[in-house]
Structure 1
Amino acid sequence: MRDMRHENLNLYVGLFLDSGIFALVVEHCPRGSLADLLADSNMRLDWMFKSSLLMDLIKGMKYLHLRGLSHGRLKSTNCLVDGRFVLKITDYGLPMILQSQNIHRPEDPQELLWTAPELLRNPVRGGTFHGDVFSFSIIIQEVISRTLPYSMMDMPAHEIVERLKNPPPLCRPLVSVDEAPTECLSLMNDCWNEDPIKRPNFDEVFKQFRGINRGKRANIIDSMLRMLEQYSSNLEDLIRERTDELEVERNKTENC
């Protein structure tokens, strides 16, 4: 695991096992997880920014699958974002590590919302390639709508899991057609197909997603400048808000 090197994989530094504590030591990503970024209402994300994050995820998963390793636990909380807004996948290989240490973790229904229906019915330790593609489709929904998985269903997680296990009818997130390019929504639907065999692999996903922006390759400098402008705007708003709060407190102090 430590020998795996890719710009979209979070680096494994090692393992920590002492005093009954078992932990992974990984590279620190200062911007937290993808879930954190999406939940931050102060962070403005245009489609180019969102598509850049998704492409990072696709490239990282393509690398893992080409080396014969499925993730098995792919979700927005284990996709980290570094200081340059590059997405890095973490927790890959974790099921094998837990199995080697004979560690069993009870699954919260909320944590199963990214899991493919066939794996909910018949769990496979370490997951499958097809199952990772399904998990990716749920992350697409999160990125497009900036909402939690299936949040528009207004149902508790355990009920959603049961519906996923026992179709029909099929239970899938609802995404507005005006929130992303039609080709992206079509790819998302292909990736959460009930039949695992009919889901595209990540090599096919990469080729399809690369052509979504009308075949135009975004200039990396333009993209970075756009992200820096958005980040600067976010900081300016935050500074203005804090300045207003400070002014209010100063006036209170002077009036005492």
Structure 2
Amino acid sequence: MRDMRHENLNLYLGLFLDSGIFALVVEHCPRGSLADLLGDGDMRLDWMFKSSLLMDLIKGMKYLHLRGLSHGRLKSTNCLVDGRFVLKITDYGLPMILHAQTISLPEDPQELLWTAPELLRNPVRGGSFSGDVFSFSIIIQEVISRTLPYAMMDMPAHEIVERLKQPPPLCRPVVSVDEAPAECLSLMNECWNEDPDKRPSFDDIFKQFRGINRGKRANIIDSMLRMLEQYSSNLEDLIRERTDELEVERNKTEKPSST
């Protein structure tokens, strides 16, 4: 696991096991998870920036699968974002590590929303390549709409999981057609196909996704700079607001009390 080296994988530095506490030691990513970034309403993300994050995820998963390892627990909360806004996948190989340490995690229905239907019906330790592709499709929905998985269904997680297990009808997120290029929405639909054999590989996904933005020469650096400017502007507004509040409070305390 420590030999895995790729720009879009978060490095494992070691394991920690002491007094019944088990932990992974990994690289720190200061911007948190992809889920954190998408949930930050003050962070403006245009399509070029979103597509850059998705491409990072595709490249990381392509490398993992090339090395013969499926992720098994892929979700937006274990896709981390470093200080340069590069997405790095973490928790890869975790099911095998937990099994080796005879540690079992409680199954929260909310955590299963990224899991492929066939793996919900018949769980496989470590997941599968096609199962990872399904998980990726749910992350596409999150990135495009900046909502939680299946948020538009307005249904509790356990009910969604049961519907995924027992089609028909098929239970999938609904994404507005004007929120992303049509080719991206088409790819998302391919990736969550009910038949695992009909889902594309990450090698195919890489080729398709690379073609989606071909001809659109917008530079990701320009996109990042615009976003950082917005972030800086938001901070300045916040500081100005807090300064005004402090000034008001200072004036109150300095004002002589009337007798």
Same fold per superposition (TM over 0.5): yes
Q: 1:48 to 1:230 in 2, by over 3 A?
A: farther
Partner Cα distance (2:50, 2:175) in 1: 15
Secondary structure (helix, strand or coil) at the match of 1:211 reads helix
Check if 1:163 corresponds to 2:163: yes
> SS in structure 1 opposite 2:142?
helix
Aligned equivalents of 1:193, 1:238: Cα separation in 2: 45
Per the TM alignment, residue 218 of structure 1 is displaced from its structure 2 partner at its CA by 4.5
Tell me the distance in 2 between the aligned counterparts of 1:211 and 1:239. 42
1:114-138 Cα distance to aligned partner (Å, 9 max, x none)? 0000000000000000000000000
CA distance in 1, matches of 2:85, 2:247: 33
Relative distance call for 1:229 and 1:120 in structure 2 (3 A) is same
Is the CA contact 2:73–2:92 (under 8 Å) kept in the aligned structure 1?
A: yes
Distance verdict in 2 for CA 1:211–1:21, change over 3 Å: same
**CA spacing shift, 1:237–1:201, aligned 2, 3 Å:** farther
Q: Does the C-alpha gap of structure 1 residues 251 and 141 become closer, same or farther in structure 2, counting only changes over 3 Å?
A: farther
1:126-164 deviations in Å (ceiling 9; x for gaps): 000000000000001111111100011011000000000
Unaligned ranges ≥5, structure 2: none
How many residue pairs were aligned? Answer: 256
TM-superposed CA distance for 1:45, in Å, is: 0.9
- Residue 113 (structure 2) aligns with: 113
Query: For the structure 1 residues 17 and 193, does the alpha-carbon distance in structure 2 shift closer, same or farther, using more than 3 Å as the test?
Result: same
Q: TM-score, normalised by structure 2?
A: 0.94
Does structure 1 conserve the Cα–Cα contact (< 8 Å) formed by 2:44 and 2:227? Answer: no
Q: Output the TM-score relative to the length of structure 1.
A: 0.95
Specify the alignment match of 2:194 in structure 1.
194
* Cα 1:45/1:251, change in 2 over 3 Å: farther
What whole-Å deviation, never above 9, does each CA across 1:158-188 have from its counterpart, x for those lacking one?
0000000000000000111111111111111
- Contact 1:44 1:234 (8 Å CA) reproduced: no
After TM superposition, the structure 1 stretch with the greater mean CA deviation from structure 2, 172-181 or 228-237, is: 228-237
Largest Rg, 1 or 2: 2
Runs (4 or more) in structure 1 with deviation over 4 Å come to none
